[in-house]
Structure 1
Amino acid sequence: MKLSEITGGRENNLDIIRFCAAALVILCHAFPVSLGEGHVDILGRITDDQIHFGNLAVCIFFFYGGFLISKSAERLQGAGPYFKARLLRIIPCLAAVTFGLTFLAGPILTKLSPGEYFTDAGTFKYLLNSVMVLVHELPGVFQDNIYNPTVNGPLWTLPVEFLCYIMCFLAWKLHFLNEKNARWMILLFAAGYLGAVKLLAGSGVLSAALRPVGLFFAGMIYYIYREKIVIRPWLAGVCAVFLAAAAGVHLLEPVIFFCLPYLLAWLGFGTKHKFSGFARRGEVSYGMYLLGWPIQQMLCQAFGGRMNPYLNTVLTLPAAVLGGFLLNRLVEQPLGRRFGQQPEMKK
């Protein structure tokens, strides 16, 4: 099957995959949040820190994002509609969570008095997260937790995601989103990526952001060459074996960009679409992503600052799913109806 033949409709398995990815983020974060910095999930231990469940999940989000946002860029045909759609996807729920943490959860969780909390400039500085300007702490909140007082650690991926949206728009504007010109875009990206790897080596979060950006770009390439890429189950199996073998010999970094995209294309579009209606009542994965870490930190505080990571995961998941459902129903869907937005991942 050509990729173009199985991605033209609205039937796919992306909703269930994104839900599982959001759950993997929560599982991954449970270890450092519950036990302290340096503790990693089982995938991180098996691969000797080459990849964790959280990084895998972010790569999944970014690959499908690269594919679908490229399609959106061609469909919307302009900066205004394109960035309006992107901002409506990110900002409303982000703002709702940020304001909720600042004005509802913060006063309850802080060690400061209400007067001290609301007169501290850091309280209102935290609201900058609503527009993807990262501020990690609220005054007096989570101060005694084993990890650190970071209120919502995963937010670092959102500015990276938005930069990828800009990259995709520029690719469309410069007429790179087609087979004729894509090779020049690939050369430019490869040169820039290798330069960034060298420049940012050892710089923590900035270095960690490069792999998801590479997967987003891979999604763009899969969209451009969708008429040429043939999806076969046995090839997806070969890719899975290659990924496992590469991790075993510490060569995951180059292999992941070639094998993981094909495997994800098969899982999302090439398998039977038994779960195409999974998010019929509400798409919760983004809300889970935004709420998972704060809930995990709250649970850790309730357990005295540290706890069993698996218990943390089990208790967090239903609360995050419920929170994601409420965000979808009370924020995303009403705004989508008002501004004529369709669910991005079903287009």
Structure 2
Amino acid sequence: MVTFGSRLADHKGVGPGFDAVRIGLALSVLYIHTSLLRVESPEAALAPVGPYLPLAQWAFDFAPLPMFFALSGFLVAGSAERLSIGQFVVNRGLRILPALAVEIILSALVLGPLLTVYTLGQYVSDPLFARYFLNILGSIHYELPGVFLDNPNPRIVNGSLWTVPHEIACYVLLVGAMFTGLFRRRFLVLLATLALFGVSMSIFIVGKLGIVLPYHDALTYLFVTRGAARLVPLFLAGIVLYQYRERIPYRFGYAVACIAAYVAIAAFGSPDWNANPIFSFATAPIFAYAVVYAGLSPKLVFKPLSRGDYSYGIYLYGYPLQQAMIQLMPWIDNRPAFFALSIAAASAMAIFSWHAIEKPILRLRRKFSLTARIHTGEEPAAAATLPPVQTVPAAK
């Protein structure tokens, strides 16, 4: 039987389609954010995502984030299996923080001064300016002084950053599992994943029944409406798929069934299902299987992507560039045209980010992970059987 594990082994531990999948998901997020053109109406969320496609816009918008996190869990699990805790922490930090820091700095020191309605003195003296740099530490602040005040979705400089704390939380949980030895016991990881879903669904159901728990609002915010329900369990689900990879069949029919199942489930839903952990639980195995299957497929190899992993840069720069284009070109009202411009702008900055920041940092990572050499074109024979060490951006 062909399994996820055997597919990884066939390709020396590197899923051949993961680069294309990450780019596809990043572009999906970029397309979702073309809704920044105008204030979205309830009717727009219920409309089909495209002609002759039986999937509502809200359901399409929901899917990329869980898939990103499931993919991240699957890939990073290989790193956790092989590295020490210290090496893992340094590895993750070097992959995420430098590029994030540069994007935050460029937004605050270049984009903001160019587009603010304030004078430069007013801009830098406003408390919002200093607070914006806290994004580098995972404390998310969306506003810069006087920036994007008149956009349809005003004041938000980079809405994609909201998932950064959840990604950090995923790594903290994984480090904790490594430290306690839980990570080596895959059945316990499976139980922990199910338990987290269980907590989210229980809080949701209790709220629907009118029962108020202690700290109910905080628990609901944490476990129902934000990443602990939608994202963190999907990261854990990706880890579980990796740990059970030798037992999970790799079949095209299963992947097609996953897509069909999601379309069928979403057909009975509505936009408020975005904050429904029961929906997240039902779709978690669907997303996890489909995205890992695609990543392991040799049919998704796209040779131009061998020059770099541009998905993180597209994620980091897409939202602020789209907001900037809306302010500078208010005549833009065509969503496909706006999407095309968004791809061009975000891709240009992603290429800069990869070649000027991310790739040089990967050279430092070679001290901590042999598989980092894969991404700089220096894969040693000893690394041939190792899984890839890649990170998946979070995006709104």
TM-score of the two chains, using structure 1 as the length reference: 0.89
May I ask how many residue pairs the two structures share in their alignment?
Answer: 340
Corresponding residue for 1:5?
6
The one-letter code sitting in structure 2 at the alignment partner of 1:185 is V
Contact (CA 8 Å) 2:4, 2:249: kept in 1 or not? yes
Contact (CA 8 Å) 2:5, 2:245: kept in 1 or not? yes
Contact (CA 8 Å) 1:117, 1:139: kept in 2 or not? yes
Distance (whole Å) between structure 1 residues aligned to residue 331 and residue 360 of structure 2: 38
Greater shift, 212-221 or 187-196, is seen at: 187-196
Q: Of 323, 327, 345, which residue of structure 2 is paired with 1:301? A: 327
* CA RMSD between the two structures: 2.6
Contact (CA 8 Å) 2:30, 2:343: kept in 1 or not? yes
The one-letter code sitting in structure 2 at the alignment partner of 1:228 is R
The one-letter code sitting in structure 2 at the alignment partner of 1:345 is Q
Pairwise CA distance, 1:305:
8.6
Corresponding residue for 2:355?
329
SS at structure 1 position matched to 2:144: coil
The one-letter code sitting in structure 2 at the alignment partner of 1:207 is T
Q: How do 1:198-213 and structure 2 match up within 5 A? A: 198-199=202-203, 203=221, 207-209=225-227, 210-213=229-232
Corresponding residue for 1:175?
181
Structure 1 residues 47-91: Cα deviation after superposition (integer angstroms, max 9, x where no partner): 5675333x322222211110111110111122x111111111111
Corresponding residue for 1:148?
154
Distance (whole Å) between structure 2 residues aligned to residue 154 and residue 308 of structure 1: 22
Contact (CA 8 Å) 1:126, 1:137: kept in 2 or not? yes
Corresponding residue for 1:256?
283
Corresponding residue for 2:212?
none
Contact (CA 8 Å) 1:144, 1:305: kept in 2 or not? no
Distance (whole Å) between structure 1 residues aligned to residue 49 and residue 198 of structure 2: 26
Corresponding residue for 1:345?
390
Pairwise CA distance, 1:255:
2.9
SS at structure 2 position matched to 1:105: helix
Distance (whole Å) between structure 2 residues aligned to residue 131 and residue 305 of structure 1: 36
Distance (whole Å) between structure 2 residues aligned to residue 273 and residue 47 of structure 1: 25
Distance (whole Å) between structure 2 residues aligned to residue 273 and residue 164 of structure 1: 30
Pairwise CA distance, 1:311:
2.5
Contact (CA 8 Å) 2:158, 2:320: kept in 1 or not? yes
Structure 1 residue ranges without an equivalent (≥5): none
TM-score of the two chains, using structure 2 as the length reference: 0.79
Corresponding residue for 1:51?
59
The one-letter code sitting in structure 1 at the alignment partner of 2:283 is I
SS at structure 2 position matched to 1:216: helix
Percentage identity across aligned positions? 27
Q: How do 1:1-347 and structure 2 match up within 5 A? A: 1-8=2-9, 9=12, 10-31=14-35, 33-38=36-41, 40=45, 42-43=48-49, 51-53=59-61, 55-78=62-85, 80-178=86-184, 181-199=185-203, 203=221, 207-209=225-227, 210-250=229-269, 252-269=279-296, 271-275=297-301, 277-304=303-330, 307-340=333-366, 342=372, 343=375, 344-345=389-390
Distance (whole Å) between structure 2 residues aligned to residue 213 and residue 298 of structure 1: 31
Contact (CA 8 Å) 2:134, 2:141: kept in 1 or not? yes
Greater shift, 113-122 or 167-176, is seen at: 167-176
Structure 1 residues 8-58: Cα deviation after superposition (integer angstroms, max 9, x where no partner): 322510111111111110110111x111255548449965675333x3222
